[in-house]
Amino acid sequence: MNFNNFPNVRMRRNRMKSFSRDLIREHQLSVNDLIYPIFVTYGSNKKEPIKEMPNIYRFSLDMFEQELKKIIKLKIPAIAIFPNIENNKKDALGSEALNENNLICNAIKVARNVSLDLGIICDVALDPYTDHGHDGVITNSEIDNDKSLKILAKQAIIQAKAGCDIIAPSDMMDGRVGIIRNSLEQEKLTNIQIMSYTAKYSSSFYGPFRSAINSNSLQIEKNKDTYQMDFSNSHEAIREAELDISEGADMLMVKPGLPYLDIIHKLKTSFNIPVFAYQVSGEYSMLMNAINNNLLSEKTIIETLTSFKRAGCNGILTYFAPIAVKLIQEKY
Ligand code: PBG
């Protein structure tokens, strides 16, 4: 007689009472898992709605400061800041990225002034600053890896000196983590963390973000396929991770999030290093529009965020962070 079978085994016993469900729960989303991406812009008293992303705004720095106070009250541990650079400051080389007084550096200083404890994350990539919209510079109609690296390393140093805690290279040039780590060492910025966008896929889910930072018309190469990963591949993500770790990354990131849970799981089981997911703008817009139209409930937010934890994430960059905190506080 087999005792490991119905009716000796009844899976529903453990599910019957809520105390028991609480006890056996394997993953519990917490405020500590959340990183909030925020867009900043020029001027004052501005809170510009982003059409493609309901409830998400571009803040002038004074309004950004007010927003940060709310984020800190919610105990969200870290933010990722993205600048909306004005067109007349963009050029082929992304020169504005190397201006120590540019929008992102000023935003970092504002954030640092509001709180010493808030984690500040900044992208390293040239796309907010180039007139052609690419993450690197172009030579002979090609994204020039090695020439881009030199600029990206300088961008990283400028942002680190402005007070950023975590440098997040999102440009997908080969060798970027290594050159950034070397430059940080040379500048004695030894405690600056690198969260590498390790497996960053060439994705159509970034559309709303590109509108948010006004970088949506790509020139020369019409997409980012020559540097971002092909969404058909997964083993390649492991090679990217091996390289990033050997070059000095402290944390890895997978991006987008929900369509890539398999990649998160692979990286988590292959390496002993923290792994993060970026639930990107398109994922946010899909869900938020469905929620705003009463097609789905807000609880779907927690379900997606918990799926990242289940897949192996240490944390998630998500535009839902403030709503998620509210839902966590209300026990969903
Ligand atoms: C810049 C960058 C992008 C995102 C984060 N950093 C866009 C891109 O690579 O084209 C996307 C974030 C989002 O969609 O929310 N390299």
Q: What is the pLDDT of residues 142-152, one digit of tens each?
A: 999 999 999 99
pLDDT at 59 over 90: yes
What is the C-alpha to C-alpha distance for residues 123 and 37, in angstroms, rounded to an integer?
Answer: 11
Q: Tell me the pLDDT band of 168, cut-offs 50, 70 and 90.
A: very high
Q: Are 276 and 251 in contact (CB under 8 A)?
A: yes
pLDDT tens, residue by residue, 6-39? 999 999 999 999 999 999 999 999 999 999 999 9
pLDDT tens, residue by residue, 60-108? 999 999 999 999 999 999 999 999 999 999 999 999 999 999 999 999 9
Residue 88 or residue 2, greater confidence: 88
According to the model, what pLDDT value does residue 159 have?
98
Q: Are 171 and 227 in contact (CB under 8 A)?
A: yes
From the CA of 66, how far away is ligand 1's center (Å)? 25
What Cα–Cα distance (Å) separates residue 112 from each residue in 78, 99, 101, 142, 237? Answer: 12, 19, 15, 38, 34
Atom of ligand 1 nearest to the CA of 228: 9
Specify which residues 255 forms β-bridges with: 200
Q: Tell me the pLDDT band of 217, cut-offs 50, 70 and 90.
A: confident
Q: Tell me the pLDDT band of 216, cut-offs 50, 70 and 90.
A: confident
Atom 2 in ligand 1: which residue has the minimum CA distance?
170
pLDDT tens, residue by residue, 264-287? 999 999 999 999 999 999 999 999
Amino acid letter, residue 19: F
Matching residue, tokens 């982003």: 50
From the CA of 108, how far away is ligand 1's center (Å)? 19
pLDDT at 325 over 90: yes
69 token code pair = 């106070």
From the CA of 123, how far away is ligand 1's center (Å)? 9
DSSP state of 276: E
Which of 84, 206, 285, 286, when mutated, tests ligand 1's pocket best, judged by the most ligand atoms within 8 Å of its CB? Answer: 206
114 token code pair = 């509001």
What is the C-alpha to C-alpha distance for residues 128 and 170, in angstroms, rounded to an integer?
Answer: 12
Q: Average pLDDT, whole number, for the chain? A: 97
CB atoms within 10 A of CB 215: 25
Which of 89, 90, 200, 309 is catalytic? The answer is 200
pLDDT at 203 over 70: yes
What is the C-alpha to C-alpha distance for residues 61 and 65, in angstroms, rounded to an integer?
Answer: 6
Question: Cβ contacts of residue 280 below 8 Å, gap of 6+?
Answer: 203, 205, 206, 209, 255, 256, 257
The count of C-alpha atoms lying within 13 angstroms of the C-alpha of 63, restricted to the half-sphere facing its C-beta, is 16
Question: Cβ contacts of residue 233 below 8 Å, gap of 6+?
Answer: none
Q: Tell me the pLDDT band of 291, cut-offs 50, 70 and 90.
A: very high
Q: Tell me the pLDDT band of 253, cut-offs 50, 70 and 90.
A: very high
According to the model, what pLDDT value does residue 1 have?
59
DSSP state of 141: T
Atom 5 in ligand 1: which residue has the minimum CA distance?
170
Spatial CA neighbour of 59 closest among 74, 73, 48, 72: 48
φ, ψ of residue 38 to 5 degrees: the values are: -130, 140
What is the C-alpha to C-alpha distance for residues 295 and 297, in angstroms, rounded to an integer?
Answer: 7
Q: Are 95 and 130 in contact (CB under 8 A)?
A: no
According to the model, what pLDDT value does residue 320 have?
98
> Which helix (H) or strand (E) segment is 112 a member of?
helix 103-114
In this prediction, residues 246-253 reach a mean pLDDT of: 98
From the CA of 210, how far away is ligand 1's center (Å)? 7
Q: Are 187 and 258 in contact (CB under 8 A)?
A: no
Which of 224, 255, 266, 268 is catalytic? The answer is 255
Ligand 1 shell residues, CB under 6 Å: 123, 125, 127, 135, 170, 206, 209-210, 224, 280-281
What is the C-alpha to C-alpha distance for residues 256 and 246, in angstroms, rounded to an integer?
Answer: 23
According to the model, what pLDDT value does residue 18 have?
97
pLDDT at 2 over 70: no
Angle, CA 107 vertex, CA 212 and CA 155 arms, to 5°: 85
The question of whether 200 is a catalytic residue gets the answer yes
The question of whether 69 is a catalytic residue gets the answer no
Q: Are 256 and 287 in contact (CB under 8 A)?
A: no
Atom of ligand 1 nearest to the CA of 215: 10
Residue ranges with strand state E in the chain:
34-41, 47-50, 53-60, 78-83, 119-124, 138-139, 142-143, 166-169, 193-200, 251-255, 275-279, 315-318
According to the model, what pLDDT value does residue 331 have?
85
